[in-house]
Amino acid sequence: MIDPRWRLDGQTALITGGSAGIGLAIARELLGLGADVLLAARDPDALGAVESDLVCEFPASRILGLACDVSVPAEREALFDWIEDGGHALRILVNNAGTNASRAAMDYAEEEWRAIFETNLFAAFEICRYAHPLLSRHPASAIVNVGSVSGLTHVRTGAPYGASKAALHQLTRNLACEWASDGIRVNAVAPWYIRTRRTAGALASHEYREEVLARTPMGRIGEPEEVAAAVAFLCLPAAGYVTGECIAVDGGFLRYGF
């Protein structure tokens, strides 16, 4: 008999940026643990294709998607109208949607760096606030924010990205303390280079890839499923006494010395 602490049966999870990469891997991981999944992503065609695939893979679970750009306030509001109108008993929120434009600090146009903060930080904060009354209806709910090692140390991803992720990590700590009495745990994960469409361009350079691997004790690029496993753990009842934490999924990158 499977210990229910390691299952998510009957729980509904909202995953933003859920149509590809880490978000899709998180969806598969949570579905495999028995959860129902609501997906939000910008591209309606990609989202529809993913929804169809997941329905075939997990026929016993409820899987629904809504095309939504979480950086747009009206679309965030529409997302939660959709959730409430559908009567979905939300228990898990994964803020995975993110964006970046990597360049030197002096080379950003104002609208570029503001757009990074809007998606990576402001949208996550607002989505947490929209989700709070839904999550607090249940005795044990969870939020997991997908941060980055860029928010913990200098990485060549650009200052706005690193600053937005650092703020997301601090938001995680603040909400964990503020909302613990409401039965909501709030944690984060901080990935290093993960094999996704977004990282493919940078890692296509042999020289750059070798630099990355040289700074990674485990000597390889991470997989989306490895981030998803950490996220899933933080959602499980087994992690019921864990809140305010940021787990690095980085192959040892942050612990590398000289």
Query: Number of folded domains in the chain?
Result: 1
Ramachandran category for residue 52: left, alpha or beta (phi over 0 → left; psi -120 to 50 → alpha): alpha
3-state secondary structure of 83: helix
The residue range of the domain holding 221 is 4-251
Catalytic residue selected from 130, 161, 208, 241: 161
Structural domain contains residue 12: yes
Structural domain contains residue 15: yes
Structural domain contains residue 41: yes
Structural domain contains residue 194: yes
Structural domain contains residue 257: no
The CA distance from 156 to 211, in Å, is 12
**Predicted confidence band at 258 (pLDDT cuts at 50, 70, 90)?**
low
CA geometry: angle 32, 247, 25, nearest 5 deg: 30
- The whole-number average pLDDT for the span 137-142 is 94
Is the whole-model pTM more than 0.85? yes
Q: What pLDDT score was predicted for residue 257?
A: 72
Tell me, yes or no, if 241 is annotated catalytic. no
The CA distance from 181 to 184, in Å, is 7
β-pairing verdict for 90-95 and 63-67: unpaired
Structural domain contains residue 61: yes
Q: What percent of the chain has pLDDT above 70? A: 100
| CATH number for the domain that contains residue 60 | 3.40.50.720
- The whole-number average pLDDT for the span 103-128 is 98
Phi, psi angle pair for 20, to nearest 5°: -160, 165
On the question of pLDDT at 240 being above 70, the answer is yes
Residue 60 tokens, joined:
């016993």
Q: What pLDDT score was predicted for residue 173?
A: 98
- The answer to whether 208 and 163 are in contact (CB under 8 A) is no
Structural domain contains residue 256: no
| pLDDT per residue as tens digits for the range 106-115 | 999 999 999 9
Q: What pLDDT score was predicted for residue 2?
A: 82
Neighbours of 224 (CB within 10 A): 20
Q: What pLDDT score was predicted for residue 214?
A: 96
Q: What pLDDT score was predicted for residue 139?
A: 87
Structural domain contains residue 258: no
CB under 8 A, 24+ apart: contacts of 160-163: 160/100, 160/101, 160/108, 160/112, 160/113, 160/116, 160/117, 161/100, 161/102, 161/116, 161/120, 163/117
Residues paired with 14 in a beta bridge: 38, 93
In whole numbers, what is the pLDDT of the chain averaged over residues? 97
Q: What pLDDT score was predicted for residue 246?
A: 98
| pLDDT per residue as tens digits for the range 56-98 | 999 999 999 999 999 999 999 999 999 999 999 999 999 999 9
